[in-house]
Every structure is written in structure tokens, then in C-alpha cells.
Amino acid sequence: MHIQTRTLQKEDYNDLKEAMIEVYSSIGGDYWQKSKITKLLTIFPEGQFCVEVDGKVVACALAIRVKYDQFGDNHTYHEITGGYTFKTHSDEGDYMYGIEVFVHPDYRDLRLGRRLYDARKELCETLNLKGIVAGGRIPNYNKFAHELSPREYIAKVKQKEIYDPTLTFQISNDFHVRKVLRGYLPGDTESKEYATLLEWINIYYVVEKDKRPHTDSIIRLGVIQWQMRLFKNLDAFLDQVEFFANAVSDYRADFMVLPEFFNTPLMADFNDLPEPVAIRKLADFTVQVRDKLCEMAISYNVNIVGGSMPLVDDDGKLYNVAYLCRRDGSYEEYRKIHITPNEVRHYGMVGGYEIRAFDTDCGKIGMLICYDVEFPELGRILAQQGMQILFVPFLTDTQNGYSRVRHCAQARAIENECYVAISGCVGNLPKVHNMDINFAQSAVFTPSDFQFPTNAVKAEATPNTEMVLIADVDLSLLKELHEHGSVQVLKDRRTDLYDVTLKKAAKKAIKQKKASADNDPEEVAPLIVVSE
């Protein structure tokens, strides 16, 4: 499945019409005429959004810009749209007015409405508008009208005592009710012709029209500090993962980060087997868990760095693999390069071959797994590829091991002028061999300069406690640091004297690995070249 949020185009009309007929089938299957959609695309093309799933438009949000003072809080839908002519639209309008949002019934479990609202909010911030206003139906009110006034009904919806499909959704997307409107949409018998006047306030709005607040550069991270615990079965394990996906989604996080080997509680069923056999049994779940992470990334609109899990490849070798599950439905794979002596001794794991930064809708990111971060060459190569955020899932049993990961991760942030987020497991797992104890303090590290915290720590979790760490990082500060920092590490490197690069063999490693008799790290490791 591939999901894309984009601006609506004229050629999307047939899909749009089909979806609207399905949405409004209970009230006659009404839909917008093509001429009306064409008019909106002519006067305010950037304000018309849709969501495309596998090439088909299944959700849409339509809007205009208005000078809100000309209408005030007492208006009808007919008035605000100029009798559906949209003559009320103004390129100088200070508010975005939402005139339509709908999602095809067959796709409502994907939470596409949230994507449309996020797109509207981003446009509102980009255009430096005061906010978004809309009249919202309350379709469940007819069930309670005999006992509750509209205000009482709204209060109970806010308190979650009553569920209303429209108002509940609006409130969950940070809209507040300014007023109750009567006669807003004549003929709306479900709402008894009442509506809520809803508003979302743009906190980045500035009075000076020539000043543009930076918002696209602010990325929100949701770092999971995962408690090791036994699960009844795979479904119970996935329920716990989805709990965290839902939690970070509520905070509008752009990334969710899970730790290394976060799925090892599932090894409990194989604890009677030798460790090399047990880990391969665990690897049988990896593709299924990866696919579920991809579903969650779509459903909760968050990019997921899926910790790491064991994977047996077609060559029969065992790898430690992390997945980037993008919220558009695509995914990438990274195989741990440097395998610890413990992983070799207990599991027979081998190292991967590819060092690559990945594109996301929030910039370029890199992934290194635990021990990898202790090798500075990898971070430097990723920085050369444009990495802005480095994600490091880790698993350490002692504070000594944790200290190695932490201090090396902080060094990578400083020397590569990037953010580094580390995510670890905590607690005990007594019924899984080689996973008995765990120590972690997950954190987000920054470069060290005036734009950043004085200790270069953006946020850190409570040690050895399950929790979610929410932190915002500003990518624009990295550019400022690179150009105007008090020290400019990447610029000041003496590349006339030394460099960090990849051996030529690494470019062929993916093809060569199946033919190789063993996994020789010497053939693929980064190299420091010092000129004479």
C-alpha cells in the first residue's frame, strides 16, 4: 500500500465524485459539481488537499481564504461560501475556512483525516494565517436532542461521555468550539441544523506579513524506552507496540524510535533450545513484525524506526536488522555492520555491507545499531551523505556498556553536526537466555554550540524506567551551525591530509556477499586514508 497526501488536481475529479457519493449515500449521495471544484482549484489551488491510496483519491479537504472580520461568528454556510460561488475568497484573507472534509468509508481505518488536517495546518503556518475556522456538523445530536441542549451535548462530547464522529475528531485535532451556530446548514436533520464554529489557532502567526515563521524544520521525535516483559503471544506483543504508536501519534510525532532487539521477549517460547537455534526461531517473526510496523506507520501517520530484529537472509546467514517504516507505506532496511563478540559467540551473527542515509519527509536520516555508533567512520560517511538525524537503537546489560553507547553517540552529534536519538531496553527478562538484565537511559543529543543546550542534551529519559521521550529538534539550526557556528567541524576538516571514505569493495558487497565463503569485515569496512 502506498499513501500520499498532496494538492488536488482537476484530473482527480472522477475519484473525488465516487468517494463523495459513498460518503453521503445516507443523505442522497450528493457531491460537488465539477465546475465548483474547478473554481476552487483556480482561486486557491494550494488549499485543496487530497489523500491518494495506491493511485486512487479516497479523501479530500477543500478550503478558501477569507477576511474573517467581514463575516464574524454569526454566519451560515451559504454566506461564508458566497452562495457556493466562493466569491468570498480573498488572497489577502487572514483565516483559512474549511468548507469540506471527507474520507471514503472503505478507508476510514487509516486515519486519513488526520493527514488532511496536518496538511491544512502546515499551509496555514506557511501562509502566516491566524488560524483555521470551520462550521462542524454534530451528526449524533439528534439522538440526544430530547434531553440535551446543543451546549450540553458539546460539553459531554468534550468530556468523552458521548462520541460524535465529527466533533470528537475535530477536538482531537486541536480545534476548539468558539460558538454554537443555528441554521448553519439547512436540511441537516441529524444535527438539528446546529453546528459548532470551530477554530484552530496558528501559534506561529506573526503580524508582520513579510516575516515567515519556520515550521517545516521542526521535527518531533518519540523515543521509546522499552520495558522487557513476557508476552502471552505475538498479538499481545504487537498490541504493546501499537500502544506506543498511538501515544506518539497523539503528540504529532514525526518519528517513533524503538530499541535494539525489542522483540526478544518472544524468545521465551524457545528458551529450551540452544541460543543459535532460538534466535533463528525468533527471526521467523521478523517479516510479520516489520509488516505490522509498516501498517502502524500508515495508520498513525508516523515514521517508525523499528528498533532491530534478527533476520535470516536467503544466504542462510543471520543478521541484526533495523527497519525504517515510512508513513507513506514504504520501508528501508539497515543491517548492523559491527557485530559484538557476544552476538557472534551466542548467535553466530554476521555483519551487513551497506552504509546509507535514507530520505524521509523530514529530511535525511541515518540508522546505526548499538555497537556501530562506537565506530566514528560510519557517522562521518552518513554525514557526508547529508544525514541530519541519526537514530541508534541499542541494547546494553550494564552501565559500562551503556556509557560506551551514550558517550559515542554524543560524539557523533558534535563531530557530524547532527542530532542523535538513542533508544534502549530496560528491565529484566529472566526466561530468555542472554537477555537477563538490561540498562538504558534513552536520550536525544545535539551538537554543542550556542543554538543548542549547554550540555548538548536535548532530552533524556529516567534511567531504567519504561517511558516515552518526546523532543523537538530544529533542522534549521544545523544549517545555521554549519554556516555560522563558533566552530565548524565539517568545514574545517583537513581533507588535504586525511579523509574518510568507503572501500571500493563495499560498492560490490551486496552482490558479492552471497558468493563469499565468510563475512570478512575487512573487505567492506570504512577506511581512513592519510596522504603522505
Is-contact 509 354, C-beta < 8 A? yes
Q: From CA 452, how far away is CA 446, in angstroms rounded?
A: 7
The H or E element spanning position 516 is none
Write phi, then psi, for 312 (nearest 5 degrees).
Answer: -95, 115
CA distances from 234 to 240, 288, 322, 353 (A): 10, 10, 19, 30
Give the list of residues 6+ apart from residue 352 with CB closer than 8 angstroms, or none: 319, 320, 321, 334, 335, 336, 337
Q: From CA 390, how far away is CA 420, in angstroms rounded?
A: 5
Please report how the helices 399-416 and 376-384 are oriented relative to each other, as an axis angle in degrees rounded to 10: 30
Give bridge partners of residue 469 from the DSSP assignment. 223
- Nearest alpha-carbon partner for 391 in 415, 414, 372: 372
DSSP string, 158-175: HTTSS--TTHHHHHHTT-
Write phi, then psi, for 463 (nearest 5 degrees).
Answer: -60, 140
CA distances from 167 to 110, 113, 221, 491 (A): 19, 13, 28, 52
Question: Can you read off the three cell numbers belonging to residue 18?
Answer: 465516487
What residue type is 177 in one-letter code?
V
Question: Can you read off the three cell numbers belonging to residue 449?
Answer: 554550540
Count the Cβ atoms, other than its own, within 10 Å of residue 501: 14
- Nearest alpha-carbon partner for 282 in 262, 306, 297, 305: 262
CA distances from 80 to 39, 45, 89, 104, 323 (A): 16, 18, 9, 26, 47
Is-contact 41 8, C-beta < 8 A? yes
Catalytically annotated residues: 260, 336, 370
DSSP string, 370-385: GGGGG-HHHHHHHHHT
Count the Cβ atoms, other than its own, within 10 Å of residue 235: 9
Q: Provide the residue count of the chain.
A: 532
Is-contact 378 351, C-beta < 8 A? no
What residue type is 39 in one-letter code?
K
